[in-house]
Amino acid sequence: MFTAKHSIQEVINAAAIQAGTKIDNPDIKEYEGDDLSWRLQAETAQEKNEIVILKNPVFEFYTDRRELIPVQSREGQYNKKTGKMHFEGDVQVQYQSWKLNSEKLDYFKMKDEVQVVEDFVMFQEGMKITGKDMRILKQTGRVKVLKGVKMKIEENK
């Protein structure tokens, strides 16, 4: 749904995506009240039924404390009906001082969370964490790892 917050270009981009046209540099935003909840940009986007296929997407979402969590990958999909997003290929996430790498990541609007079901690696200065099946709760930014957590602490040299 469009409001006064949406620019003419955003409305044109959305109309082009709805028509199935391939567009360059799409910029899709969702607001909660006056606050930007998330923003999805890409090199290109093309609609196939309810799915928008994205090349080199960047997904930025905010916690309730207004902390920005950016996600980028080589490919992505956005389901316009459910709000689910799927990112694949060299997925990178930055949160506070942490960097996360994985091959796949999903955002579920209905659960308001990010899921990394496959293997992942998280880095912070002097620390490396590997695991599988991680959740990031969008509201709080809280991270849960459900399987195979391994931590390696490196001493500063």
pLDDT per residue over 82-107, tens digit each?
A: 999 999 999 999 988 889 999 999 99
- Residue 146 and residue 66: Cα distance in Å, rounded? 26
pTM: 0.80
With the C-alpha atoms ordered 99, 138, 60, 108, is the resulting torsion angle positive or negative? Answer: positive
- Residue 46 and residue 34: Cα distance in Å, rounded? 28
Mean pLDDT, residues 58-63: 91
Residue 39 has pLDDT above 90, yes or no: yes
- Residue 103 and residue 74: Cα distance in Å, rounded? 10
Type of residue numbered 21: T
Rg of the chain on CA atoms, in Å:
17
pLDDT tens digits, 101-127:
999 999 998 888 889 988 999 888 888
Give the per-residue pLDDT at 148. 73
Determine the topology of domain 8-153 in CATH. Answer: lipopolysaccharide transport protein A fold (2.60.450)
